[in-house]
Amino acid sequence: MHKEELNKLGGIILDASIAVHRELGTGLLESAYELALARELYLREIHFRSQVAVDLKYKDVSLGKAYIMDILVEEEIIIEIKSVEVVNPIFESQLITYLKLADKKLGYLINFNVTLLKDGFRRIVYRF
The range of the structural domain enclosing residue 74 comes to 3-125
70-87 pLDDT per residue, tens = 999 999 999 999 999 999
Give the whole-angstrom CA distance, residue 76 versus residue 74: 5
Number of domains into which the chain is organized: 1
The alpha carbon of residue 68 and the mean position of all alpha carbons in its chain are separated, in whole angstroms, by 11
Q: What are phi and psi of 103, to 5 degrees?
A: 55, 50
25-71 pLDDT per residue, tens = 999 999 999 999 999 999 999 999 999 998 888 898 989 888 899 99
What is the value of pTM for the model shown?
A: 0.92
Angle at 1 between CA 5 and CA 66, to 5 degrees: 115
74-122 pLDDT per residue, tens = 999 999 999 999 999 999 999 999 999 899 999 999 999 999 999 999 9
